[in-house]
Amino acid sequence: MERTTLRRIRQRKADNKIYLCAPVNALVEGIYEQNIPFSEIKKHGDFGLGTFNDLDGEMMMFDGLIYRIGSDGKANQITDDEICTPFSCVTFFQPSSEDELAKELSYEEFLNWLKELMPSPNLFYAFRIEGEFEYVKTRSVPKQENYRPLVEVAKEQPTFEFNNVKGTMAGFYTAAYMSSLSVPGVHLHFITEDLTSGGHLLECRPRKVNVELQYLYTLELSLPSNLDYLTWDFQRDIGKDLDKAEK
Amino acid sequence: MERTTLRRIRQRKADNKIYLCAPVNALVEGIYEQNIPFSEIKKHGDFGLGTFNDLDGEMMMFDGLIYRIGSDGKANQITDDEICTPFSCVTFFQPSSEDELAKELSYEEFLNWLKELMPSPNLFYAFRIEGEFEYVKTRSVPKQENYRPLVEVAKEQPTFEFNNVKGTMAGFYTAAYMSSLSVPGVHLHFITEDLTSGGHLLECRPRKVNVELQYLYTLELSLPSNLDYLTWDFQRDIGKDLDKAEK
């Protein structure tokens, strides 16, 4: 489908709402089987990120297509809508602004540049970043037993490095005061231009990239109805654990 | 309108969603002018609670009608949809369960009984409680200057006591991990049967009451777009302040 046609479809559907199929604190606690099929997720967005039941790979979605990046760093398109997720964050993507970066930046400079593009730290934003990177470092978690806290899992995560690579990043910004719901700060997943590998972004040095940024003014959060979630005693310091698990 | 007809209308509209027009942390910080008209709030519910611009009274809504309880404890129906709120929490009310209490309970016993009615501490619930009370204590805050933290305002709140009174309570339960979004625990507003007085509930001893409880599985949160919210540096310990301000 042509990019302009795609954009028109997006425009029709977009209502600048971020959708979470579960609060991220459930994932941080180690509830990895929420059994929410992607057929449900697709009703709420064509763009975003997340994970799979049993934490089996990193999820990335753009232009309505879903990719799974396994613990070997390899990416595959997921076409079975009945595959399930315990945590996904999506939107119907329609950029509010578009910016170009034409010089190499360190990861810290890159994050600061993204922050400058956001008119307020207290909204949600979706980012679609495409272009050339001097360096990209990602991770993808291996399939897990249910109930093992995310911070434990992240200690053993396989990481992957890419040099001089073209690709796409998709993700969101969340304000710190909502860290029990979604990963706070800028949270991005990456896939190479040939759609063969990627993962959860740990670090990068962009060289020449295009950033599309969507301002999101509404949050829709679904609360899981499975027994694990309903009976859980949420006491963990989510903010601290997420900081360790996502960086 | 007959109660059965009302119930049918509710049933049609109800999607068991809790709607917040702003996160409560903005109110706790002292942002009292969000200028959100009740015409907007009514699109998202016919039942709930909140406050008014400049914290000018306690708001309570049921059967689609909105009441303002002023700092003199007196209640008036609000019919002007252009009156504004900085924080309101509403739903289209449709009870999931109904229970009767036919003996006097202390406030602590009453709260414990309400907790027992909830199948999980990790969902949202709406409560509509009607009947006879041995005792009810409420507060209503006086109109405030913008930017004065809620915890300061609450220090000087006028309180009101009712003995042997009939009336209605409306409110919500929110899980502690979402205390930056909505008041955690059980949060109720009260109005007397003759609709003349009431306030934010501080204490009560129910004698014979009927409790309708709605399970809410989805949260919709609108983020304010006014400059105060967009530029605020949210650092305050919201949980601690709310505990002082709401009890």
| pLDDT, tens digit, 9 for 90 and up, residues B89-137 | 999 999 999 999 999 999 999 999 999 999 999 999 999 999 999 999 9
Q: CB-based contact (8 Å) between A238 and chain B?
A: yes
Is beta strand B185-192 parallel, antiparallel or unpaired with respect to B159-174? antiparallel
Nearest to B78 by CA among B111, B53, B96, B103: B53
Q: In this predicted complex, what is the ipTM?
A: 0.92
Ranges A40-44, B10-14, B35-39, B153-157: which has the least confidence: B10-14
Reported as a single tens digit per residue, the pLDDT across A27-37 is: 999 999 999 99
Closest-approach residue (CA) in chain B for A239: B177
Q: CB-based contact (8 Å) between B239 and chain A?
A: no
The runs of H, that is alpha helices, within chain B are: 3-13, 24-29, 38-41, 107-117, 150-154, 227-231, 238-245
User: Which of B122, B223, B231 lies nearest to residue A223, judging by beta carbons?
Assistant: B122
Query: Three-state SS for A181?
Result: coil
C-alpha to C-alpha distance for B212 and B129, rounded to whole angstroms: 6
Reported as a single tens digit per residue, the pLDDT across B156-182 is: 889 999 999 999 999 999 999 999 999
pLDDT of residue B1: 41
Sorted by where each begins, the domain ranges of chain A are 17-246
For the domain covering B17-246, report its CATH number. Answer: 3.30.1330.80
A135 to chain B nearest CA, in Å? 33
C-alpha to C-alpha distance for A242 and A131, rounded to whole angstroms: 28
Beta strands of chain B (E only): which ranges? 17-20, 36-37, 47-51, 58-62, 65-69, 75-78, 84-85, 88-91, 97-101, 124-139, 159-174, 185-192, 198-216, 218-222
C-alpha to C-alpha distance for B38 and B154, rounded to whole angstroms: 24
Backbone angles phi, psi at A103, to 5 degrees: -140, 160
